[in-house]
Structure 1
């Protein structure tokens, strides 16, 4: 009897033209580190009395399909997740191509994602997947990954794939060594770690249906938050926090002229942190920042991915 192993698992992704309807072709095999994407249907215990001490059979509740996918931040495949989070990019250039993703889109694309465990076999197709949140961390070392939080409409399980023949993009990963942070155009020094979280604030449309699934997931108010932990060496960030003025933060990774990823938060506001002295070691300060819509450009953030992919 075959047993499922994560090492043999695969994931294929395609964007839907109709929400909740899996396309027949056009799937790409995408690299991932782990996933909690799945469907569950809890049971509701019986509340009825007068039938003795032993409870009656429970009834089924609604179906919930959602979860996280941890993916590498790479040169080509990461564009698929940026499209899911921000919408269709504007692509310019010849070689390389520059794909520009902007916040503030009123509509977001939905995806069909199939996770495969071929040794069982089990092929689970999740339709109506919409990206609720995309987040990542920056550090001095380790693997650079992002977490995409998805809200799906439902799950269909089969013994054979429904994704047809897959294609794939090249995998060339960015690393923490290739990253840099700038503030208002100047390098931000003494940074220990940083976090970035973009949220679409999805609103699940929970209508009454015979299949127990949601009707859709509409984007609400977007939010861009994060955290920067720095060694306390100057008062520039604290002065900004006290003054209440915004700054521009740019998180960038580069592997050369044809491979780069730049994420710009155009108007970042910093809170006034508590400066503690925990002991004889170096003093650190943590800023839980929030971004807002800037005056120019009139949006909250911009993500630019440079590679050789023709279009997303």
Structure 2
């Protein structure tokens, strides 16, 4: 039944990779799961008062278009590969010849652009907001002992248009299978880190908007600059010297954040950072409870491994 008011539960997100930046594909979209979205175009009002026009305010003017925002997405077995391709570029895929495939995404490459549509199909007057020339700027997630595993992707698009019908009436879909925090691990040197209670990771392409003068107020494009990765690890103070020894020696560590799916043999997601630097932290005692420290780390390019960050997703999808 059609509705007169919009609800998030009725929203549909479609996405496809563009052949040419800023040109929405006519079809070939995939329906993706998401938690929330702030992606949208803005054109704020500017004001420049003139004298000699009396005391009442004069007309404002329209600034340039800004189409950016975040989308909350699940860390899931299949759909996440679509976002990782947008964040890193096309993966190297290995067929294990048992129905499973490993997709390896590596930092530092050229990024494809996406066409996105956020639709409110169940409104009496349906509305579909289409974003062309979208590139992924960041991906960030947190790790904890329990709860759902989710991430936030940040996008910069060229512009937004509105339509009364969807761009693809028959999009592809990916069966949802989520990773959970309870199956997460944080490893240093391929060994599970002891006494770790939380962690964060943020990867950024640090996109630069090409803000040329145009009559439509939109940007000309988005260019990738320096790729960075940083985060934190929350660790309880103990006799374990895995981190403290590396910090004292001022030497980098090999760090990996990962998830598995219990009962799904071989299906996994891992974020590998071969060269991570940790700061020295004072051990504060704030009461009778446990003593804990948060290490805000920063990753660097590893000349031996050949990358800053490598993400490996093993699932049952043949290609992205």
TM range, normalised to the smaller chain? Answer: over 0.9
- Does residue 103 (structure 1) correspond to residue 107 (structure 2)? The answer is yes
Query: Normalization by structure 1: what TM-score?
Result: 0.97
What is the RMSD of the two structures over their aligned residues, measured on CA atoms? 1.1
| Cα deviation, residue 258, structure 1 | 4.2
8 Å CA contact 1:199, 1:223 repeated in 2 = yes
- Residue 238 of structure 1: CA displacement? 2.5
The whole-number CA distance in structure 2 between the counterparts of 1:49 and 1:116 is 46
Which whole-Å CA distance do the structure 1 matches of 2:288 and 2:183 have between them?
A: 32
Correspondence for 1:59: 61
Using structure 2 for the length normalisation, give the TM-score: 0.95
- On the 8 A contact 1:238/1:273 being kept in 2, the answer is no
- Specify the alignment match of 2:200 in structure 1: 195
What is the Cα deviation at residue 138 of structure 1? 0.4
Q: Matched residues in 1 for 2:169 and 2:307: separation? A: 39
1:10 equivalent to 2:34? Answer no
Aligned positions, number: 311
Match of 1:243 in 2: 249
CA shift, 1:301, in A, is 1.2
Q: Does 1:113 align with 2:121?
A: no
1:185 equivalent in structure 2: 190
1:242 CA drift (Å): 2.6
Contact 2:186–2:193 (Cα < 8 Å) also in 1: yes
- Long gaps (5+) in structure 1: none
Q: 2 CA distance for matches of 1:3 and 1:186?
A: 52
The partner residue of 1:271 within 266, 279, 282 is 279
What's the offset of the Cα at 1:142? 1.4
Instruction: Please state whether the residue corresponding to 1:53 is helix, strand or coil.
Output: coil
| Conserved? CA contact 1:11–1:116, under 8 Å | yes
Matched, 1:20 2:25: no
Task: State the alpha-carbon separation in 2 of the partners of residues 206 and 46 from structure 1.
Answer: 22
Q: How does 1:141-156 map to 2 (within 5 A)?
A: 141-156=146-161
Match of 1:193, SS state, is strand
The answer to whether the 8 Å contact 1:127/1:154 transfers is yes
Unaligned runs of 5+ in 2: none
The alpha carbon displacement at 1:156 in A equals 0.5
Q: Cα–Cα, structure 1 residues 277 and 25, in superposed 2: closer, same or farther, change >3 Å?
A: same
State yes or no: 1:165 paired with 2:170: yes
Deviations 1:202-235 (A, max 9, x none): 0100001111000111000010000101111134
Find the aligned partners of 2:29 and 2:265 in 1 and give their Cα distance: 29
Partners of 1:163 and 1:200 in 2: CA distance: 29
